[in-house]
């Protein structure tokens, strides 16, 4: 990835810090992808407000992981894939790349299918055609990054994030969930084995490995490698704001998905797919809100598909030192999704299975990240505080175990 010149504030203060925000908003798209839509809507439709606390907890953990990833890129000048690969021999790097590539391609399958479902809802397009259109538009977004720079790419992705937020929160302008029931969802508890499975799906698939790999490179490419001392401390402070604001938006969107389903879909029959959810929204809230829901889903598929392909390119470059043209990579990774759609495989079931495959990659991204950012020799004075390291290890191990639970419950359920 071409590294852009760091953008500085001539005043040397935080007054223009907003101008430096952006990388976290790109990474946050991974948290509002079509896989999240399926899990959150299903949770709300089946268990009401019960699992709202899971979304809040998952968002807090994800925020810590994303900040550590951005900090690694800023302090070392290396993306996470580069930092991991530096200590590996060629065979080990190839094996590590293979699992990361499978995860990235699995993620891409979910994003393209989500966009195809949205296009079928909105325009009645066949799923394979919708998948091709999703892939083509995501390629245009990637070309914006290559031709016009990261700032414009971040602005476009942030705009799509706002469209996603509007699409999934529009129903609150029509009907607002009862405050008391919403507050009850903040109390940690379960209701049978199926609620545990859905909680594992939300928690276990929250921290997307491709977003963890990508954020380190995004921060590095946008800001360069600031000098140690005051410039770096200031940029790290702004990065915490960047991550915090982006994750609040992403967490709010995920919570809104669950609340909409809990308030409008519970008791309206089995919501077995995203299209069922659209039908339920249309029945209870009317066609306008339903269309906004579908538009939010489409924006989710388009944005997350381009971000997923971007992450895959960064993983390949960091671990294999290969730079593949984005058009070629987009065509290659689009193939599996289009093939599955052409074979008439159940798209919602494919979304779920893609999240299971993705789960295998979580420990390989999160555990090395905590180890690297705690390394004082590598990070210098910006190494993690011991308390941060302890919390980081707890979060990393917890997320990894939850993904193992998700895989087990999905296979045996």
The ranges assigned to domains in the chain are 28-412
pLDDT at position 17 over 70: no
Q: How far apart are CA 318 and CA 84, in angstroms?
A: 9
Cα angle 342-345-348, degrees, rounded to a multiple of 5: 120
Chain segment 117-168, per-residue pLDDT in tens: 999 999 999 999 999 999 999 989 988 888 888 889 989 999 999 999 999 9
Contact present, 303 and 153 (Cβ < 8 Å): no
Dihedral, CA atoms, 293, 297, 299, 305, nearest 10 degrees?
180
| Closest alpha carbon to 350 in 364, 368, 367, 338 | 338
Of 241, 246, 249, 251, nearest to 186 by C-alpha is 251
Q: How many CB atoms lie within 10 A of CB 357?
A: 16
Residue 393 has pLDDT above 90, yes or no: yes
The answer to whether 96 touches 84, Cβ cutoff 8 Å, is yes
Residue with tokens 């470059």: 317
Which pLDDT does position 413 carry in this prediction? 61
List of residues 6+ apart from 285 with CB closer than 8 A? 171, 174, 175, 264
pLDDT-derived band at 18, boundaries 50, 70, 90: low
CA distance 309 to 221: 17
For residue 4, the model assigns a pLDDT of 44
318 contacts 217 by C-beta, under 8 angstroms: yes
What is the DSSP annotation of 57-102?
Answer: HHHHHHHHHHHHHHHHHHHHSS-HHHHHHTTS-HHHHHHHHHHHHH
pLDDT 10s digits, 249-303:
999 999 998 998 888 777 655 555 788 888 888 888 899 999 999 999 999 999 9
Instruction: Give 28-412's CATH code, choosing from 3.50.50.60, 3.40.1080.10, 1.20.1740.10, 3.40.50.1950.
Output: 1.20.1740.10
Neighbouring residues of 256: CB distance < 8 A, sequence distance ≥ 6:
165, 168, 169, 172
Angstrom distance (rounded) from CA 77 to CA 66: 16
For residue 34, the model assigns a pLDDT of: 85
List pLDDT tens digits, range 305-346.
889 888 888 999 999 888 877 777 777 778 888 888 888 888
């Amino acid at each position: 990835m071409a590294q852009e010149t760091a953008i500085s504030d001539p005043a040397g203060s935080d007054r223009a810090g907003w101008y430096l925000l952006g990388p976290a908003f790109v990474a946050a798209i991974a948290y509002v992808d079509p896989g999240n839509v399926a899990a959150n809507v299903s949770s709300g439709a089946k268990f009401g407000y019960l699992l709202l606390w899971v979304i809040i907890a998952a968002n807090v953990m994800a925020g810590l992981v994303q900040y550590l990833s951005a900090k690694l890129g800023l302090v070392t000048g290396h993306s996470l894939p580069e930092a991991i690969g530096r200590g590996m021999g060629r065979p080990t790097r190839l094996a590590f790349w293979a699992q990361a590539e499978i995860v990235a391609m699995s993620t891409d399958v979910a994003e393209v299918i989500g966009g195809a479902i949205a296009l079928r809802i909105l325009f009645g397009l066949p799923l394979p055609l919708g998948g091709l259109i999703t892939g083509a538009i995501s390629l245009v977004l990637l070309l914006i990054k290559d031709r016009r720079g990261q700032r414009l790419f971040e602005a476009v992705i942030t705009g799509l994030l706002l469209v996603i937020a509007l699409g999934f929160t529009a129903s609150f302008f029509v009907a607002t969930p009862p405050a008391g029931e919403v507050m009850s969802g903040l109390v940690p508890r379960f209701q049978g084995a199926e609620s545990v499975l859905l909680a594992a799906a939300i928690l276990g698939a929250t921290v997307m490995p491709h977003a963890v790999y990508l954020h380190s490179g995004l921060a590095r490419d946008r800001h360069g490698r600031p000098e140690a001392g005051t410039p770096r401390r200031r940029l790290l402070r702004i990065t915490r704001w960047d991550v915090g604001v982006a994750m609040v938006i992403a967490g709010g969107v995920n919570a809104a998905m669950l609340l909409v389903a809990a308030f409008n879909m519970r008791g309206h029959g089995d919501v077995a797919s995203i299209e069922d959810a659209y039908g339920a929204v249309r029945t209870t809230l009317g066609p306008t809100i339903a269309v906004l829901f579908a538009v939010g889903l489409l924006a989710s598929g388009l944005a997350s598909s381009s971000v997923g392909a971007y992450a895959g390119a960064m993983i390949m470059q960091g671990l294999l030192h290969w730079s593949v043209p984005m058009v070629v990579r987009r065509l290659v990774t689009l193939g599996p999704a289009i093939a599955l759609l052409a074979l008439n495989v159940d798209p919602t079931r494919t979304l779920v299975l893609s999240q299971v495959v993705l789960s295998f990659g979580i420990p390989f991204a999160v555990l090395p990240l905590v180890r690297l950012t705690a390394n004082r020799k590598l990070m210098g004075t910006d190494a993690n505080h011991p308390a941060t390291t302890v919390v980081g290890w707890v979060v990393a191990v917890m997320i990894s175990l939850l993904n193992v639970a998700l895989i087990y419950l999905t296979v045996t359920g």
